[in-house]
Amino acid sequence: MLYKIVPALRAAMNASSLSFSESGQADVTLSGVTEDNAIEKVKAASLCGKASVAIDGLGVFTAKEAAEGRLSGKIAIVTGSAQGFGLGIAEEMIAQGANVVIADLNIDLAAKVADELCKKNGAGRAFACKVDVSDEASVEAMIEDTVKAFGGLDIFVNNAGVLKAGGLEEMDAKSFEFVTKINYEAYYFCAKYASRVMKLQHAVAPDKFYDIIQINSKSGLEGSNKNFAYAGGKFGGIGLTQSFALELVEFNIKVNSICPGNYYDGPLWSDPERGLFVQYLKAGKVPGAKTAADVKKFYEAKTPIKRGCMPLDVARAIFYIVEQEFETGQAVPVTGGQVMLN
């Protein structure tokens, strides 16, 4: 399994990212490398600063130059990044020097996004990966594909999420399970396989830090009326974050959640046909509202800083979390003052 070997090689080469080819010339060739001995083999080989290394039976790995920015040289996965918050987060992270995997169930849209990001930021800086985060084997394959594309993993952004609102009389067991599987259980699958790569890097480069970041919600901090499947899973996500943080701290893996307020300009709210503003207008949820814009104004007024949350607001929390080496297990609110912590 590539992902159980190559991250150790990347750490030993001190490379920001690696490109992979099945054959070719290399500065050094290592033989007899297995999953069990990878750490000691790469540590013993004095690989720091080498431009290319071949591993017999696996291929040739060549160090790539890092782009500049606050995330220079970092490799990141953002799940659910074909649209919405995930897309905006991926755009901001790549603009700050990260190489980013656009991991999404909607592979056609993810491929288009990755293509555009590469055109704007440089060839090979993003790649699209099809994943269903609620399927363990699919999550493992995403991690393997990431290591093949970039050589390792520094920041995992667990963003993919779904919302099916409904009170006790409307919600059925199937919908409850669907929401819980993607918003809650999938985070466990993702943390399991992402941390494996990070642990391997830590074993070779013990002074570096890695991040698992869950995009939670303000509904993970306070209950949400007739939206308990979503809020319950998000509350549970903070329990996972705190527990993963305690378990992974010895590997310099920080684990934090970010709790954004509503992204009114994103597709969930603003889609002209299926968005929540149109749905709430039709349902007469906001008294006196005549247009979707009236509904939007009503919701914006609920926030002390009178606007919705934007991807850049969330990305700034990501930059803080990554740069802050003295914090873990936290839930960082980005709500414009709508939810205040005790």
Tokens of 14: 């001190």
Binding status of residue 105 toward ligand NAD by CB under 6 A: yes
Binding status of residue 267 toward ligand NAD by CB under 6 A: yes
Q: Give Cα 218 to chain centroid, integer Å.
A: 18
CB closer to ligand NAD out of 73 and 233: 233
Q: Which helix (H) or strand (E) holds 18?
A: strand 17-21
Alpha helices in the chain (DSSP H): 6-13, 38-44, 84-95, 107-121, 136-150, 173-180, 186-204, 228-248, 267-270, 276-282, 292-300, 311-323
Binding range to ligand NAD, per CB under 6 A, among 27-35, 117-125, 247-255, 267-275: 267-275
Binding status of residue 270 toward ligand NAD by CB under 6 A: no
CB closer to ligand NAD out of 38 and 128: 128
Binding-site size for ligand NAD (CB under 6 A) equals 28
Sign of dihedral through CA atoms 272, 108, 116, 11? positive
Binding status of residue 131 toward ligand NAD by CB under 6 A: yes
CB closer to ligand NAD out of 87 and 200: 87
Report, in Å, the least distance between residue 266 CB and ligand NAD. Answer: 5
Binding status of residue 159 toward ligand NAD by CB under 6 A: yes
Q: What does the DSSP assignment read for 228-294?
A: HHHHHHHHHHHHHHHHHHHHHGGGTEEEEEEEE---TTSHHHH-TTTSHHHHHHHTT-STT--SHHH
Q: Which of 3, 187, 193, 230 is catalytic?
A: 230
Binding status of residue 279 toward ligand NAD by CB under 6 A: no
The question of whether 184 is a catalytic residue gets the answer no
Binding status of residue 162 toward ligand NAD by CB under 6 A: yes
Binding status of residue 263 toward ligand NAD by CB under 6 A: yes
Footprint on residues 167-226 left by ligand NAD (CB under 6 A): 182, 215, 217
Binding range to ligand NAD, per CB under 6 A, among 102-110, 202-210, 278-286, 290-298: 102-110
Cα–Cα distance, 214 to 314 (Å, whole number)? 11
Report, in Å, the least distance between residue 25 CB and ligand NAD. Answer: 38
Pairing status of strand 99-104 against strand 75-79: parallel
Cα–Cα distance, 43 to 47 (Å, whole number)? 8
Provide the b/e sequence for 298-316 (b: ≥16 CB within 10 Å): bbeeebeeeebbbbebbbe
Report, in Å, the least distance between residue 283 CB and ligand NAD. Answer: 18
Active centre residues (catalytic): 230
Which chain residues interact with ligand NAD by CB under 6 A?
79-80, 82-86, 104-106, 131-134, 159-162, 182, 215, 217, 260, 262-263, 266-269
